[in-house]
Amino acid sequence: MQKLWYFAVVAALLASCQKKTDDPKAAGGAKSQAAGGGAPPQSAEELKTPLAKIDDVTITLGEFQERINRQSPYIRARYTSLEQKKEFLDSLIRFEVLAKEAYRRGLDKDPEVIRTMKQVMIQKLMRDEFDTKVTADTVTDAEMKTYYDANVAEYVKPEEVRVSAIIMKNKAQADRVLLEAKGEAGKTNKGFRDLVMKYSTDEETKLRGGDLRYLELQAKDAPPAVIKGAFTLMNTGDVSGVIDAGNGTFYILKQTGRRKSMTKSFDDAKPQIRNKLFREKRLQAQKDFIDNMRAKSKIEINEANLAKVRIDTSQNPGGDDGHGRDLVPPAPDLPGAAAGSAGQPKK
């Protein structure tokens, strides 16, 4: 039963993090207009109208609307009749009753609940601090253009071909191995790798199964004759003839991949760049904010005692990663879910 009270308290903490105001829009007035099909706006006084009292807790019309209008349109459509509204109100009452019992039992002082409350507060703090201050719109065209020019290779790429190679120093041997490479042994990548391990004399590429990785037509990391031969292989799996590399070695190539050329203009790349720079800006802003908070705090670390900490490496026994990110399922938004009903209408 303790888990039931725990989730009730967690849900209460989540609810307490929501901005409460007498403004009709914040209290559900704007949403109720949408739901009411163009009904006149509700006054602040009307939104304060009590619907139910549970001891010293009052559920107002505005709070009820705010909670129900927070749901998806599919869920909201289930609560249009008076009877269904009563069911939702009952779930709110059940929520308050459970929360009050949890408080009576002192669960608001439970370390697990306190830690969860801190996590919720941290999440809201970070949202309040950064959701409006650091947005994608804060990334300027100049910043995006600077990034594009510095990383143009990510957006303008030539055609590339990937090949594996059997490298030998004897032309007569290469001609004999070619028969195997063109036969059954060379039809699969594994079979070709086996030929590499058996015949290739280049120890560096042999360790990679003969893989020369992706080559560009103007690349300098392979002999020109080899690069030219690689680009004549049009289909994945094609095997070349014997290629004289001009340096005393002879290659047999197998094409294993091809990438088409790509030219993405700055305008085409802007959405991708904006998102990347926005994420970087936000992370940096968060780091600066946290560093500033740390600088204002008196922090003492006892490394001698830290060394005594014993780590259970079997499984994570708790639900918290220790960094303000909650690994347990979040508390349900619908209060009825805390009691196992998930806020669904009764059947």
| 76 and 175 housed in the same domain | no
Residue 31 lies in a domain: yes
| 104 and 164 housed in the same domain | no
Residue 317 lies in a domain: no
| 22 and 80 housed in the same domain | yes
Residue 254 lies in a domain: yes
List, for residues 120-149, the tens digit of each pLDDT value.
Answer: 999 999 999 888 888 898 899 999 999 999
Residue 40 lies in a domain: yes
pLDDT band, residue 324 (cuts 50/70/90):
very low
Q: Among 215, 234, 263, which residue terminates a domain?
A: 263
Residue 27 lies in a domain: yes
- On whether the CB atoms of residues 271 and 247 are closer than 8 A, the answer is no
List, for residues 253-309, the tens digit of each pLDDT value.
Answer: 999 999 999 999 999 999 999 999 999 999 999 999 999 999 999 988 889 988 898
pLDDT score for 334: 41
208 vs 312, which has greater pLDDT? 208
Q: Among 210, 238, 263, which residue terminates a domain?
A: 263
Residue 20 CB-half CA count within 13 A: 12
305 CB neighbour count, 10 Å cutoff: 8
| 164 and 233 housed in the same domain | yes
Q: What is the rounded CA–CA span in Å between residue 130 and residue 159?
A: 41
Task: Kindly state the percentage of the chain with pLDDT values over 90.
Answer: 52
Residue 334 lies in a domain: yes
> How many folded domains does the chain comprise?
2
| 174 and 257 housed in the same domain | yes
List, for residues 55-104, the tens digit of each pLDDT value.
Answer: 888 989 988 888 888 888 888 888 888 988 888 889 989 999 999 999 99
Residue 283 lies in a domain: no
Q: What CATH code is carried by the domain that includes residue 188?
A: 3.10.50.40
Q: Among 218, 248, 263, which residue terminates a domain?
A: 263
Residue 227 lies in a domain: yes
Q: Which domain holds residue 178?
A: 156-263
Query: Which of 273, 255, 256 minimizes the C-alpha distance to 264?
Result: 273
163 CB neighbour count, 10 Å cutoff: 28
pLDDT score for 236: 93
Q: What is the mean pLDDT of residues 106-129?
A: 93
